[in-house]
Amino acid sequence: MGPLARGRRRVVHQLPSTLPPDVLHVGWTPLARLLPRTAGLVHHGGIGTLAHAIRAGVPQLIVPFAHDQPDNANRVRALGIAERLDRRRFTAERAARALDGLLGDVQVRARCAVYAARVDFARAAEEACDVIEAAAHGGSDPAPPGPAPPRMP
């Protein structure tokens, strides 16, 4: 592992029972409680995990496997808040190098904070309900919400 990844506790899923002392194996964990305490996240690129990581302002290393995961990984990489590592090329050394790059980049951290401030799950649910209700009643789309959030350069 690189210098930034060393000395940090790792939380992992689905591993053997014999683990190094700096690895904490947990069962299901609510990401909303875990992620604000993490420096970075390595995951498969599922949209739920990705959304929670953005909300927490956590840099992501995504190792996609199937379905929408490769596209999700490409999109957050384009935002500058994640890196993608092909699962067939995954090694501990490559992952550590990618994490070191993410965790050591002040601009990545700043972009993560900007996007985290823009995530509002409750507002998104309200807007989705408004659209569904309008469609169910044969109405047109509801008026768009207030001004759009600022775009990242």
Contact between 58 and 112 (Cβ < 8 Å): yes
- What would the mean pLDDT of 92-98 be, rounded to a whole number? 93
- Give the tens place of pLDDT for each residue, 27-64: 788 999 999 999 999 999 999 999 999 999 999 999 99
- Give the tens place of pLDDT for each residue, 111-152: 999 999 999 989 999 999 999 998 888 876 555 665 655 565
Alpha-carbon distances of 53 from 139, 140, 150, rounded to whole Å: 35, 34, 20
**Domains of the chain, earliest start first:** 10-119 (3.40.50.2000)
Residue 12 has a pLDDT of 53
- What would the mean pLDDT of 76-93 be, rounded to a whole number? 95
DSSP 8-state symbol, 89: G
pTM, two decimal places: 0.74
Residue 118 has a pLDDT of 95
> What is the per-residue DSSP string for 53-69?
HHHHT--EEE---STTH
